[in-house]
A and B are shown apart, each in its own frame.
Chain A
Amino acid sequence: MEAQLQQLKEEVLQKIAASSNVKELNDVRVAYLGKKGPITDLLKGMGKLPAEERPKMGALVNVVREEVTTVLEARMSLLQEQAINEQLEKESIDVTLPGRPVKTGNHHPLTRVVEEIEDLFIGMGYEIAEGPEVEKDYYNFEALNLPKGHPARDMQDSFYISEDILLRTHTSPVQARTMEAKEGQPIKIICPGKVYRRDNDDATHSHQFTQIEGLVIGENIRMSDLKGTLSVFAKKMFGNDREIRLRPSFFPFTEPSVEMDISCFKCGGDGCNVCKKTGWIEILGAGMVHPNVLEMAGYDSKKLSGFAFGMGPERIAMLKYGVEDIRHFYTNDVRFLSQFHRTEV
């Protein structure tokens, strides 16, 4: 019986070694160590042995069984690891293949500029005011100190609908309407929107374009406040090291009136093609609200004062992004639009 056991052990160890995968090895386990396997049979057959031999034999069988089990388990973990490695091998991919694209669109560049300006002023306590694109002559001109007969309001320059109604030529009527509605209360607004002028469309002119204006009215609003506000704007919009300068100018609705230049963001002021070698770039027009404008809207110009400024998002986008033709903004070529996708700075 001992010899039989030894032979059995040799046989099992051989089978274990011969198993090449987890399944085969499991079959070996069931065949030899299972309830119906030869080792169990041997243990069952021990009853036939003399009583004094039984403990010795029993211990022997158990030793063999344990030895076989250890070898089997070692083999098993080896085969399992092999199996995982094979699977990983099979599942490996070419990580350089392109990813599945996430298709998204984006803001029109003008909206991008307008929202950037809006957000910047919202941070300084401004609200956004909007108004109609078809406007009364009164709000577009008269309330802004452009009385009838003023050369700036020639039929040549504006699209009239009737004698008293026209497509607004600037977003300033929104200021006039807001002032009228606020009835003498302080104001702090930004007015973006579409405007229209009788111009032939070419590289630098568009019969429809965008404006964004600001208006602040309060007690003791000073020209220094305008200058400080514009400086904050210039730095946030065009970079922290931007300088500004004001030049006297003329607008019927402000007095004094100024034009603001910023130091060139491309060359830093040394002179380049963007600033036409002057080191300065004209960005916007501004001024202290003309007393006639305040009075017409019911504000006491001796007690309250204000400033206003206005600029063209097209011009800013053209400068910032190097766009050379204003018509690009209205052609809606996807090859153009899709370039304004990513974050800046």
Chain B
Amino acid sequence: MLVSTKWLSEYVNTQGLDPKDLGEKITRAGIEVDAVIDRSHGMTNVVVGYVKEKVKHPEADKLNICQVDVGEETTQIICGAPNVDAGQKVIVARPGAVLPGGMKIKKAKLRGEESNGMICSLQELGIEGRLVPKAYADGIYVLPETAVPGESVLPLLGLDDIVLELGLTPNRSDALSMLGVAYEVGAILSEDMKYPEVNYTESDEKATDYLNLKVDAIEENPMYIAKVVKNIQVKESPLWLQHRLMAAGVRPHNNVVDITNYVLMEYGQPLHAFDYDRLETKEIIVRLAEEGEKIVTLDDQERTLKSNHLVITNGKEPVAIAGVMGGANSEVHDGTTTVVIESAYFVGGSVRQTSKDHNLRSDASARFEKGVDPNRVILAAERAASLLAELAGGEVLAGTVMVDELDKTPAEVVVSPDFINNRLGMKISLEDMTSILSRLKFDYQAANGLLYIKAPTRRQDIKIEEDIIEEIARMYGYDEIPMTLPVEESKPGGLSSYQAKRRQVRAYLEGAGLYQAITYSLTSKEMSQKFALETAPVTELLMPMSEDRSILRQSLIPHLLEAVTYNTARQADTVALYEVGSVFLGETESGLPHEQEHLAAVISGKWLDHSWQGEKKAVDFFVLKGIVEGLMDLLGHSSELTFERSVVDGLHPGRTASIKLAGEEIGVIAQLHPSEQKARDLKETYVMELNLAKVLDKEVEALYYAPVSKFPSITRDIALVVDSEKATGELQAIIQLSGGRLLKNVHLFDLYEGEKMEPGKKSVAFSLTYFDPERTLTDEEVVNAHNKVLKALAEQAGAELRG
């Protein structure tokens, strides 16, 4: 809502406040002033000029040489506008003027001819093109003949004004009118209101003799009134009315349309003017449209109606979509002599649905949607009639054509001052409260320790006690509210054990060198199930904004890979990322998808940097595997953790393992398939994804200390020759099982395959640690245990000791 402070001061005394200060007061009281706009943009030296003479420029077809009387002198100005002519009063920017775009006007020569200034369009004075009257949209603006050469044009065009731009929240639709804003400002400044003047004499003829009215949809339209005004003359509106509309963001058309728009802005009550003769039938019937019925609206669009759209008809066909837009067939035109002014109460929900269906939002629909003041329907119609009599020479027919079943009783709220103070944590006196209610022009009675309040119908947001609390508090000032902390039984706060563990997982991964990434949950159909640990029916948006963001993901890996590609393309040597986020699987009983929190990681590029010490190492499977092992150790699951070869689409078939805890699959770790790497422009890239929720929800044994022994341990190294395909994990498992209770640790310290080995064989070396916490082991005991291990290795894995 754009509020001209000059216009506003007609209804309320703004006490000569600087508009900036006024804006600040309005903001602090509850309606945010988004901008304070100086319509003059600081312009000076822009005056009225009289074009005495116009001749073609000898050197340029499109330029005219004008002799312009600017008051103190007559001076030559070159003008390129197509509509400039001798005899016009025009806007002249004199040398020294600075225009809103930053253009500085200087004396100049155009194709050899002197030019002492510029004849301006309204756009050049900072008025948006969409607001400039159509007649002047493509040229200079022509002022009325009464303009006096040499005088500043700013007051003439209403540009000596400051406009407040209000950012209205949906509850404050009362401020969608100048009167509503005036009430608010009056309450803030403790000033009274002045209503606009309604002053016309009715003719002897009765409106009801001219027009029949019937409302066949009383639920959607509980009140409809019409005034008939005849003998009007359609012409340009007076300048003051035009510039007020432009200040409010409305384009002037002609006096009839301008008056309906002016009253809309003034009262917040949308009006519509029909050409009476074009209605043809002398009848208005309001009804719901027939399914598929058609109407051409004022914007020359043919629109197909649905059966829940409310229309105004002439008894035969629609002449307007109620509350949204008028029809072209009944539009006021230059030759119109009699008009019907419609003022109605259309129910918000109905208008909202209709305007949404036609994707057509207007100043009118915006107000109906939020609910107009039932008590202004008649006032606004009378104000329009008064202006039509004054500015269009109209003759207002006696009486009003009316259907009225609208409930206009104000909302009543009963609230105790104690309740107000308790909720606010304040001690506002009853006098202060009632003084605020008076300033707000709320009817109230104080009795029995209670306030009985009748909220004015313009304030449809006031319904319950809490609404009154807000009114009192905002007028009293939020700065006055003291600062306290809740008084309550003190309880420790904290993280759940799941949340605490998740934080430790993050810290561990970051300590291991991975950065936390956050990627989008929405992805494409193609990527939604790629690399997924588990797939289930996907969760798809009804109306996606793009194919790329249309389905919820079932794996975190695809978007992490996108990040790796992004970083690699920008010369990152190493990319190591992890993400904790939800995947969305199938549907639970409640109809919502099953949301599972996953952890995924990707590493690509170098792991150890090339340093002056000479080491350099690319990432590999075992870097990522080590991170997973460390993580499971952190979470107390290392003894249950196993890795098993597996195959997953898009992953390297020889370098993929499923991650299992106590035999249950909880994740996958792999190298990306070389063809996937190539498609993404990546070097060797390793990925991992875990069902984090499952891991974190798993029970963990209590942490219990094992005494640190005084006794030494004994270490034996063995080098084994086995078939190349033999998994080392299997050998390790055999050692662990056969080593007995004295075997405390098995460590693989060497692996060799190559020239020195027989083809198809490899050498694996383990270091075995034997230990008894109670005593020093004898040589014999160790030899016995060790021999069992060697025997088991030979029998179960065909392993020979390497000579």
Query: Is B one of A's binding partners?
Result: yes
Checking B29, B467, B552, B566 against A255 with a beta-carbon cut-off of 8 angstroms, the contacting residue is: B467
Within 8 A of B (CB), among A287-333: 288, 290-291, 305, 329-333
**In the bound complex, how far is the Cα of B479 from the Cα of A245, in angstroms?**
7
CB neighbours (8 Å) of A238 from chain B are: none
Checking B483, B522, B593 against A231 with a beta-carbon cut-off of 8 angstroms, the contacting residue is: B483
Jot down 21 A-B pairs with beta carbons below 8 A, ordered by A. A104-B511, A105-B513, A106-B516, A108-B516, A122-B493, A124-B485, A128-B495, A134-B539, A219-B488, A222-B424, A228-B483, A231-B483, A248-B474, A256-B466, A257-B470, A291-B466, A332-B519, A332-B567, A334-B567, A334-B575, A338-B515
A159-B542, A223-B424, A225-B486 known, 7 other contacts, Cβ within 8 Å: A103-B513, A106-B516, A128-B495, A130-B499, A159-B522, A162-B591, A291-B466
Kindly report which residue of chain B lies nearest to residue A186, judged by CB atoms. Answer: B488
Checking B171, B495, B513, B521 against A194 with a beta-carbon cut-off of 8 angstroms, the contacting residue is: B521
**In the bound complex, how far is the Cα of B483 from the Cα of A332, in angstroms?**
40
Q: Closest CB-CB distance, A118 to chain B, in whole Å?
A: 8
Asked if B613 and A134 sit within 8 Å, CB to CB, the answer is no
**In the bound complex, how far is the Cα of B491 from the Cα of A193, in angstroms?**
24
A152-B170 in contact given A223-B473, A231-B483, A255-B470 (Cβ < 8 Å): yes
Asked if A332 and B545 sit within 8 Å, CB to CB, the answer is no
Which of B114-122, B298-306, B576-584, B681-689 forms contacts with chain A?
B576-584
CB neighbours (8 Å) of B540 from chain A are: 161
Within 8 A of B (CB), among A195-242: 196, 198, 200, 207-208, 216, 218-225, 227-229, 231-232
Kindly report which residue of chain B lies nearest to residue A112, judged by CB atoms. Answer: B516
Asked if A162 and B566 sit within 8 Å, CB to CB, the answer is no
Kindly report which residue of chain B lies nearest to residue A210, judged by CB atoms. Answer: B518
Asked if A160 and B543 sit within 8 Å, CB to CB, the answer is yes
**In the bound complex, how far is the Cα of B499 from the Cα of A130, in angstroms?**
10
Which of A10-18, A59-67, A76-84, A94-102 forms contacts with chain B?
A94-102
Asked if B566 and A332 sit within 8 Å, CB to CB, the answer is yes
CB neighbours (8 Å) of B518 from chain A are: 108, 110-111, 329-330, 332
Asked if B506 and A107 sit within 8 Å, CB to CB, the answer is yes
**In the bound complex, how far is the Cα of B615 from the Cα of A101, in angstroms?**
12
Asked if B516 and A196 sit within 8 Å, CB to CB, the answer is no
CB neighbours (8 Å) of B484 from chain A are: 222, 224-225, 227-228
Checking A106, A110, A225 against B425 with a beta-carbon cut-off of 8 angstroms, the contacting residue is: A225
Kindly report which residue of chain A lies nearest to residue B588, judged by CB atoms. Answer: A132
Asked if B506 and A330 sit within 8 Å, CB to CB, the answer is no
Asked if A106 and B584 sit within 8 Å, CB to CB, the answer is no
**In the bound complex, how far is the Cα of B169 from the Cα of A103, in angstroms?**
50
CB of A52 within 8 A of chain B? no
CB neighbours (8 Å) of A136 from chain B are: 590-592
Q: Closest CB-CB distance, B509 to chain A, in whole Å?
A: 7
A122-B352 in contact given A220-B422, A220-B487, A256-B473 (Cβ < 8 Å): no
Checking A126, A127, A128, A149 against B352 with a beta-carbon cut-off of 8 angstroms, the contacting residue is: A149
CB of A270 within 8 A of chain B? no
CB of B30 within 8 A of chain A? yes
CB of A176 within 8 A of chain B? no
CB of B711 within 8 A of chain A? no
**In the bound complex, how far is the Cα of B515 from the Cα of A110, in angstroms?**
13
Nearest 10 CB-CB pairings of A with B: A224-B425, A222-B425, A248-B30, A250-B169, A256-B470, A228-B483, A105-B515, A332-B563, A246-B478, A255-B466
- Interface 1/0s, chain A 158-193, versus B by CB < 8 A? 011110110100000000000000000010100000
CB neighbours (8 Å) of B592 from chain A are: 132, 134-136, 165
CB of A155 within 8 A of chain B? yes
CB neighbours (8 Å) of B486 from chain A are: 188, 216, 218, 221, 225, 229
A288-B485 in contact given A222-B425, A223-B425 (Cβ < 8 Å): no
Q: Closest CB-CB distance, B494 to chain A, in whole Å?
A: 6
**In the bound complex, how far is the Cα of B549 from the Cα of A200, in angstroms?**
11
**In the bound complex, how far is the Cα of B484 from the Cα of A231, in angstroms?**
9
CB neighbours (8 Å) of A122 from chain B are: 493-495
CB neighbours (8 Å) of B499 from chain A are: 128, 130
CB neighbours (8 Å) of A329 from chain B are: 518
Q: Closest CB-CB distance, B213 to chain A, in whole Å?
A: 29
CB neighbours (8 Å) of A70 from chain B are: none
Kindly report which residue of chain B lies nearest to residue A135, judged by CB atoms. Answer: B592
Kindly report which residue of chain B lies nearest to residue A306, judged by CB atoms. Answer: B486
Asked if B491 and A188 sit within 8 Å, CB to CB, the answer is yes
Asked if B541 and A160 sit within 8 Å, CB to CB, the answer is yes
Asked if A256 and B474 sit within 8 Å, CB to CB, the answer is yes
CB neighbours (8 Å) of A125 from chain B are: 490-493
Within 8 A of B (CB), among A262-280: none
Within 8 A of A (CB), among B278-298: none
CB neighbours (8 Å) of B539 from chain A are: 134, 161
- Interface 1/0s, chain B 458-479, versus A by CB < 8 A? 0000001111011001100011
Q: For B488, B490, B563, B578, which residue has the most chain A Cβ atoms within 10 angstroms?
A: B488
CB of B423 within 8 A of chain A? yes
Kindly report which residue of chain A lies nearest to residue B615, judged by CB atoms. Answer: A100
Q: For A108, A208, A219, which residue has the most chain B Cβ atoms within 10 angstroms?
A: A108
Band of interface residues on A: 35 or more
Checking A121, A222, A335 against B570 with a beta-carbon cut-off of 8 angstroms, the contacting residue is: A335
CB of B27 within 8 A of chain A? yes
CB neighbours (8 Å) of A245 from chain B are: 478-479
Asked if A334 and B572 sit within 8 Å, CB to CB, the answer is yes
- Interface 1/0s, chain B 15-46, versus A by CB < 8 A? 00000000000011110100000000000000
CB neighbours (8 Å) of A334 from chain B are: 515, 567, 572, 575, 577
Kindly report which residue of chain B lies nearest to residue A151, judged by CB atoms. Answer: B170
Asked if B469 and A256 sit within 8 Å, CB to CB, the answer is yes
A208-B521 in contact given A105-B510, A188-B491 (Cβ < 8 Å): yes
CB neighbours (8 Å) of A40 from chain B are: none
A227-B481 in contact given A132-B595, A305-B423, A332-B563 (Cβ < 8 Å): yes
CB of B517 within 8 A of chain A? yes
Kindly report which residue of chain A lies nearest to residue B514, judged by CB atoms. Answer: A105
CB of B146 within 8 A of chain A? no
Asked if B493 and A126 sit within 8 Å, CB to CB, the answer is yes
CB neighbours (8 Å) of A97 from chain B are: 612
Asked if B521 and A232 sit within 8 Å, CB to CB, the answer is no
CB of A115 within 8 A of chain B? yes
CB of B503 within 8 A of chain A? yes
Asked if B542 and A162 sit within 8 Å, CB to CB, the answer is yes
Checking A101, A149, A229, A232 against B609 with a beta-carbon cut-off of 8 angstroms, the contacting residue is: A101
**In the bound complex, how far is the Cα of B487 from the Cα of A188, in angstroms?**
12
Kindly report which residue of chain B lies nearest to residue A248, judged by CB atoms. Answer: B30
A128-B510 in contact given A224-B483, A225-B484, A227-B483 (Cβ < 8 Å): no
Kindly report which residue of chain A lies nearest to residue B473, judged by CB atoms. Answer: A256
CB neighbours (8 Å) of B517 from chain A are: 108, 332, 337
**In the bound complex, how far is the Cα of B465 from the Cα of A256, in angstroms?**
10
CB of A247 within 8 A of chain B? yes
Q: For A111, A118, A130, A224, which residue has the most chain B Cβ atoms within 10 angstroms?
A: A224
Checking A100, A159, A194, A228 against B611 with a beta-carbon cut-off of 8 angstroms, the contacting residue is: A100
CB of A133 within 8 A of chain B? yes
**In the bound complex, how far is the Cα of B619 from the Cα of A103, in angstroms?**
14
CB of B496 within 8 A of chain A? yes
Q: For A245, A248, A330, which residue has the most chain B Cβ atoms within 10 angstroms?
A: A248
CB of A123 within 8 A of chain B? yes
Asked if B426 and A224 sit within 8 Å, CB to CB, the answer is yes
CB of B349 within 8 A of chain A? yes
CB neighbours (8 Å) of A200 from chain B are: 545
CB of A143 within 8 A of chain B? no
**In the bound complex, how far is the Cα of B169 from the Cα of A227, in angstroms?**
22
Asked if A337 and B516 sit within 8 Å, CB to CB, the answer is yes
Q: Closest CB-CB distance, B798 to chain A, in whole Å?
A: 41
CB of B482 within 8 A of chain A? yes
Checking A155, A229, A290 against B485 with a beta-carbon cut-off of 8 angstroms, the contacting residue is: A229
Asked if B515 and A161 sit within 8 Å, CB to CB, the answer is no
CB of B369 within 8 A of chain A? yes
CB of A28 within 8 A of chain B? no
Q: Closest CB-CB distance, B511 to chain A, in whole Å?
A: 5
